[in-house]
Amino acid sequence: MKYDALFARTGGFLHGGDYNPEQWLDRPDILEEDIRMMKKAHVNVATLGVFSWSVYEPVEGEYHFEWLKEIADRLYENGIYFILATPSGARPAWMDERYPEVMRTTVKRVKNLHGQRHNHCITSPKYRALVREMDERLAKEFGSHPGLLAWHISNELGGECACPLCEKKFQAYLEQKFDGDIEALNKAWWTTFWSHRYNRFDQIEIPASHGEKSIMGLNLEWRRFTSENTIDFMNQEIEVLRALTPDVPITTNFMHSYPLLDYNRMAKPLDFVSWDSYPCYNNNYESLAKTSFDNALDHITMRSFKKDKPFLVMESVPDLVNWHDYNHAKRPGVHFITAMQSIACGSDSVMYFQWRKSRGSFEQYHGAVVDHLGRDDTRTFKAVTELGAALEKIKEAAGSVCKSSTAILYDWDSRWALDDAAAFSKKTKNYVKTVGSFLNICLKNGVEADVISSVEPLDDYQVVVAPMLYLLQPHTAERLKQFVERGGQLIATYITGYVDENTLCYLGGFPGDGLKDLFGIYVEEIDTLYPKQANGVRFTDGTVWKAADYCEVIRLNGAQVLASYTDDFYAEEPAVTMKQTGRGTAYYIAARCEEAANAAVLRRAWDAAGIARKALPAGVEYHRRYKEHTAYDFYLNYNSAPVQIQMEAAYSLLDDKEVSGEITIPALGVMVCRVQL
């Protein structure tokens, strides 16, 4: 494995962000000032061209790239590289006027009007042709510019289109999937119930509340198709650019746990992963540590798509955004520690949307490095500058990567199917939150974990947690069994293995597809609790923890009981079990327990796997990045008071000194240490 910075020629981490100078072409003074301020802020990268189509091609067939070339040159001369976006995220007015088919249609079958962003038909051959033409021109104009670091496809791809073109493509997708056999589809979707049988693929309409929404298999395939079709759109752009500029790496920016795209599949064709991070820090409902630990879920999900290289934080904001419910100012020190968290989790960048606030339109109040005020002595500008300087101090860590012994499974298919399932309670399914709750336990125990899809290889892991793995892909059960047999510690929970890849329930007992033997239990009932109702789970050591929302009533099928319910008609029935198979163990947590109960199971699994935990004060996050024989330890103290950490001898990069023994990290302090392995 190579441990290179993603862009070695920048000399370390990327620091910068979206730069939209086309807004200021009539203000050369501002463009001049931008360069001066970027340099002052230790900025070394600018993302250009996001949404620039109407300036590139103000009327059809008339192209203007010279302004951007000039700016790219100026940046490069001043040591600032650029990432160039393709402008397909928003279309000029003339295009929608002339080719209305490029606009999106909602599932209510309402044709959108011109406007907003992300409003294109995902299928439209016309739009794809226009994008191809534009991308080719961009590649020719900028592909060999020495400042070009990477291509950035479109912007935050997403949404869905239900126009006739998309419906037809969806039908073709289904026809291919079911090998042209409509009876196979009828069986897989269980259409005989409610008289929902189809005669032909071209009878199938895109699901809608004023049409068909009650076939779970149809709904799931629509989610899958929309995701695949978006990836296909992206791939067309990638193909053009890769053909013309084979050496320029390609990415697109993901949006944390965006529900409509299977990022695991979408990440494959990309050269590296990047994403946009916008948590609500210092809100009125949780601690800064909680917000940050939850944000770690996103960083780590992104990192886990390509474990052998860093990812980029393509967008973040040094102060506040304009679209939260309450656009709370970022408190002093919060930008530093949360930006450093990205690095700790494996990012090679801290980048912002955007460099300078737009004077008008929708994002005029979205935070930026430079405010309308225009000064370089603002709290925000100083925080960015400080961070830029710190990134330079730790630049040797760029390119290093994290290594995890534990994996948490997070499947878009399970998420889609579970969200759509007419069962349990629509209000408390909380799949992503449940995944996050297990990662929280890892973070609190200083155990590095990846968050991966159930179709990814498990060979590198000793412990695998599969929370609410409702839907089993073909071979998932088999692969989990092999994982346990060869010594793995596997932990599953309530609502695991209820349905197959078509959302058909497994017959003969959940978890299905053989997993009831692996875990040595089967589920007889699931009790969905109303809010404020609760049960308890008593472990064999006498500790009792709360269970809420979901309690499966399970029967033993060879497993050993680790904990039992305390109350209700299933009191004394098993609540947590384990069963050994081969050299490994499969644990089953039958209820939604509070964290301490889950942590007890994870600790048992880690101990069995010989994975060391790290004693960390509450509210402290720890990660280690590796680079050949060197490691970089990151300690992030989210508390408003200092903490003490016990450390081996190491070199603190930010303080520029050797450290060892008991070290104090101040409130919101960050420590980055080089450790020789």
Tell which one of 362, 475, 572, 612 touches a second copy (CB under 8 A).
362
- Residues near a second copy (CB under 8 A), total: 116
Residue 640 near a second copy by CB under 8 A = no
Respond yes or no: is residue 525 known to be catalytic. Answer: no
The answer to whether 630 contacts a second copy (rule: CB under 8 A) is: no
Contact flag: residue 112 with a second copy (CB under 8 A)? yes
Active site residue 156: yes
List Cβ neighbours of 108 (8 Å cut-off, separation of 6 or more). 208, 209, 210
Residue range at the interface with a second copy (CB under 8 A); choices 127-135, 138-146, 317-325, 657-665: 317-325
Distance CA 171, CA 178 (A): 11
User: Would you say how long the chain is, in residues?
Assistant: 677
State the CB neighbour count (10 A cutoff) for residue 677: 9
Pairing of strands 657-665, 643-652: antiparallel
526 binds a second copy (CB under 8 A): yes
Give the residue, chosen from 210, 459, 542, 615, that forms a contact with a second copy under the rule CB under 8 A. 210
What is the C-alpha to C-alpha distance for residues 366 and 652, in angstroms, rounded to an integer? 35
Task: Pick the stretch among 257-265, 454-462, 467-475, 501-509 that binds a second copy (CB under 8 A).
Answer: 501-509
Tell me: does residue 39 bind a second copy (CB under 8 A): no
- Can residue 93 be called a binding residue for a second copy (CB under 8 A)? yes
| Of residues 253-282, those binding a second copy (CB under 8 A) | none
Using rule CB under 8 A, residue 509 touches a second copy: yes
Q: Which two tokens stand for residue 175?
A: 């026809």
Give the active site residue among 57, 156, 167, 448.
156
Q: Does 677 bind a second copy (CB under 8 A)?
A: no
Q: Quick one: 40 or 403, whose CB is closer to a second copy?
A: 40
- The token pair at 483 is 């994982």
- Spatial separation of the C-alpha atoms in residues 57 and 113, rounded to whole Å: 21
Q: What is the spatial distance between Cα 69 and Cα 598, in angstroms, rounded to a whole number?
A: 55
Biggest CA–CA distance in the chain, Å, is 76
Strand pairing partners for 586? 490, 579
Contacts of 490 (CB under 8 A, 6+ apart): 463, 464, 465, 466, 480, 483, 484, 518, 584, 585, 586, 587
Looking at the Cβ atoms of 195 and 308, the one nearer to a second copy is 195
Question: Which of 535, 528, 522, 597 lies closest to 572 in space, CA to CA?
Answer: 535
Q: Which of 160, 167, 221, 315 is catalytic?
A: 315
Q: How far is the CB of 204 from a second copy (least distance, A)?
A: 8
- Taking contact as CB under 8 A, which single stretch among the options 40-48, 72-80, 444-452, 506-514 is the one that binds a second copy? 506-514
Contact call for residue 386 and a second copy (CB under 8 A): no
Asked if 489 contacts 609 with a C-beta cutoff of 8 angstroms, the reply is yes
Q: What's the rounded Cα separation, in Å, for the pair 63 and 538? A: 70
Q: Which is nearer to a second copy, 195 or 246 (CB)?
A: 195
Q: Is 507 in the site for a second copy (CB under 8 A)?
A: yes
- By CB under 8 A, the residues from 331 to 350 that bind a second copy are 331-332
Q: What's the CA gap between 415 and 436, in Å, rounded?
A: 13
- Residue 136 binds to a second copy (criterion: CB under 8 A): no
> From the list 75, 83, 90, 442, which residue makes contact with a second copy (rule: CB under 8 A)?
90
Applying CB under 8 A, does 29 fall inside the site for a second copy? no
> Which x/- pattern over 176-195 shows residues binding a second copy (rule: CB under 8 A)?
-----------xxxxxxxxx
For position 55 contacting a second copy by CB under 8 A, the verdict is: yes
Contact residues for 525 (Cβ-Cβ < 8 A; gap 6+): 552, 553
Q: Compose the 539-568 pattern: x for residues touching a second copy by CB under 8 A, - for all others.
A: --------------x--------------x
Q: Which residues are catalytic?
A: 156, 315
